[in-house]
């Protein structure tokens, strides 16, 4: 017998209570019963987004919310700054250019955070820029960008700060209203502890004004239409009913734990993963700007990362993530977001130690686990 453990940065494990909620008999989406569930869910989402604004619920992956943001707020020819520090920063740029926007690419070394000074320089040099597009947590590089500092740059300009919070919302503090984030998007399969299939987008009052003049074509991802339906506790098109029922359960779990406690748990798990990696001599991918969603480490010389990931998954039952593009075969990514606790980290680190030994790398078994334990014990009174 072999138990399987899902410790990749999405999809993430789903709690038993949410699975059971989603297994309930189907109900129709145009009924008072579903509208009541939908209304409660929409209010709970505001709590996690830390906003008084509406949070739109879309039947899509997180990329749907990203594309919807572009088509609802901009017109062909509009200029935006794209912070390209990984695969998902690159995605902002590709979506923008697909709809005829002029993207000013600000390329950032993978594993690094963008320097707000460089963003300011681009803003000053290009006064017609109407948006700064960035990831709060760049999943492909496990780096976090300085969202608060970027929000200060756009606050008093005719320019929106648009943040992909897909692996950030519900992981670390990202107060939309307090910081002045204009658009914040996320997805169900990360810290919201659900299967893929739901995307979320919340817009500031400033962003909704941009929507009034935007001319990019749109139909399914029409935010104005979704907002109108949200007021009636429903969606413009057929929603994934079971996922929304599960979302309500997951959001209740987050509220019961307490948002600040959720952030503290993610911080503790992340610090433990980083300490364990250091103890094993594994170089961090993002040492100066690590995200609390996932920890990226370079595999040792002489070890092929792709084979290591496959061995962990197919032989040991531990699903981690490898690298993308030029990092393919060179890194491991250990996720610690969503329905993850102390002993998930212990299992991940112990498995990595064992897999590395099997791959011929010399290390002291238990050294990483011990380093992690010294931090993880903080979570127990």
Q: Chunked in runs of 10, what are the mean pLDDT values of the chain (381 residues)?
A: 95 98 97 98 98 98 98 98 97 98 98 98 98 98 98 97 98 98 98 98 98 98 98 97 98 98 98 98 98 98 96 98 95 98 98 97 97 97 87
CATH number at residue 97: 3.40.640.10
Q: Which residues of 10-20 are buried (b: 16+ CB within 10 A; e: fewer)?
A: bbbbbbeebee
Whether residue 285 sits in one domain with residue 192:
no
Whether residue 265 sits in one domain with residue 245:
no
Q: Residue 1: what pLDDT?
A: 86
Q: Residue 220: what pLDDT?
A: 98
Strands 198-203 and 294-298: unpaired
Domain boundary among 208, 225, 256: 256
Provide the β-strand partners of residue 331.
298
Domain boundary among 193, 226, 256: 256
Q: Residue 381: what pLDDT?
A: 87
Domain boundary among 194, 226, 256: 256
Q: Residue 342: what pLDDT?
A: 98
Whether residue 240 sits in one domain with residue 180:
yes
In angstroms, the CA 323 to CA 239 distance is: 33
Q: Residue 176: what pLDDT?
A: 98
Whether residue 304 sits in one domain with residue 235:
no
Whether residue 114 sits in one domain with residue 251:
yes
Q: Pull the structure tokens for residue 322.
A: 């490898």
The CA–CA distances, whole Å, from 224 to 72, 213, 235, 255 equal 8, 12, 11, 28
In angstroms, the CA 166 to CA 131 distance is: 18
Reported as half-sphere exposure (CB side, CA atoms, 13 A), residue 81 has a value of 30
Q: Where in the sequence is the domain holding 278, given as residue range(s)?
A: 5-10+258-379
The CA–CA distances, whole Å, from 106 to 34, 69, 123, 166 equal 44, 20, 11, 20
User: Which residue do the tokens 């209740």 mark?
Assistant: 252
User: Which residue do the tokens 């609802």 mark?
Assistant: 72
Whether residue 189 sits in one domain with residue 209:
yes
Reported as half-sphere exposure (CB side, CA atoms, 13 A), residue 216 has a value of 26
Is the Cβ–Cβ distance between 349 and 374 less than 8 Å?
no
Q: What are phi and psi of 332, to 5 degrees?
A: -120, 145
* Statement: the pTM of the whole predicted model exceeds 0.85: yes
Instruction: Tell me which residue of 196, 195, 137, 208 sits closest to 170, measured CA to CA.
Output: 137
Whether residue 265 sits in one domain with residue 135:
no
Q: Residue 316: what pLDDT?
A: 97
Whether residue 306 sits in one domain with residue 159:
no
Is the Cβ–Cβ distance between 260 and 50 less than 8 Å?
no
In angstroms, the CA 99 to CA 71 distance is: 7
Whether residue 105 sits in one domain with residue 35:
yes
Q: Pull the structure tokens for residue 114.
A: 């963008």
Whether residue 112 sits in one domain with residue 231:
yes
Whether residue 290 sits in one domain with residue 263:
yes
Q: Residue 304: what pLDDT?
A: 95
Strand ranges (E), 157-204: 160-164, 183-187, 198-203
* Structural domain total, the chain: 2
Whether residue 264 sits in one domain with residue 121:
no
Instruction: Tell me which residue of 232, 231, 235, 234 sits closest to 222, measured CA to CA.
Output: 235
Instruction: Tell me which residue of 119, 54, 40, 45 sits closest to 84, measured CA to CA.
Output: 119
CATH number at residue 273: 3.90.1150.10
Instruction: Tell me which residue of 41, 45, 54, 103 sits closest to 74, measured CA to CA.
Output: 103
Q: Pull the structure tokens for residue 214.
A: 């935007």
Angle formed by the axes of helices 259-279 and 241-257, nearest 10°: 80
């Amino acid at each position: 017998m072999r138990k399987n453990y899902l410790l990749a940065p999405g999809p993430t494990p789903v709690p038993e209570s949410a699975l059971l909620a989603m297994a309930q008999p189907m109900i129709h989406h145009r009924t008072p019963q579903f509208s009541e569930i939908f209304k409660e869910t929409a209010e709970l989402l505001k709590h996690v987004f830390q906003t008084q604004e509406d949070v739109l619920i879309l039947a899509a992956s997180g990329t749907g919310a990203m594309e919807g943001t572009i088509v609802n707020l901009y017109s062909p020819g509009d200029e935006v700054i794209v912070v390209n520090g990984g695969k998902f920063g690159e995605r902002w740029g590709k979506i923008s250019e697909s709809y005829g926007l002029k993207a000013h690419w600000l390329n950032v070394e993978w594993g690094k955070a963008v320097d707000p000074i460089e963003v300011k320089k681009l803003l000053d040099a290009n006064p017609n820029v109407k948006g700064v597009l960035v990831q709060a947590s760049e999943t492909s590089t496990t780096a976090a960008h300085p969202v608060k500092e970027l929000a200060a740059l756009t606050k008093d300009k005719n320019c929106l700060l648009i943040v992909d919070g897909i692996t950030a919302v519900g992981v670390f503090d990202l107060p939309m209203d307090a910081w002045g984030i204009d658009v914040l998007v996320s997805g169900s399969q990360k810290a919201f502890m659900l299967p893929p299939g739901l995307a979320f987008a919340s817009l500031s009052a400033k962003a909704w004004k941009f929507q009034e003049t935007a001319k990019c074509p749109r139909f399914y991802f029409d935010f104005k239409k979704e907002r109108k339906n949200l007021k009636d506790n429903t969606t413009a098109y057929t929603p994934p009913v079971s996922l929304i029922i599960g979302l309500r359960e997951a959001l209740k779990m987050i509220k019961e734990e307490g948002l600040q406690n959720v952030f503290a748990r993610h911080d503790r798990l992340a610090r433990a993963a980083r300490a364990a990696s250091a103890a094993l001599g594994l170089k961090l991918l993002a040492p100066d700007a690590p995200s609390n969603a996932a920890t990226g480490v370079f595999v040792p010389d002489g070890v092929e990362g792709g084979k290591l990931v496959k061995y962990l998954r197919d032989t040991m039952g531990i699903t981690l993530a490898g690298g993308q593009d030029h990092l393919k075969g060179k890194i491991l990514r250990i996720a610690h977001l969503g329905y993850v606790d102390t002993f998930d980290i212990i299992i991940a680190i112990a498995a990595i130690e064992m897999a590395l030994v099997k791959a011929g790398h010399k290390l002291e078994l238990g050294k990483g686990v011990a380093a992690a334990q010294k931090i993880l014990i903080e979570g127990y009174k």
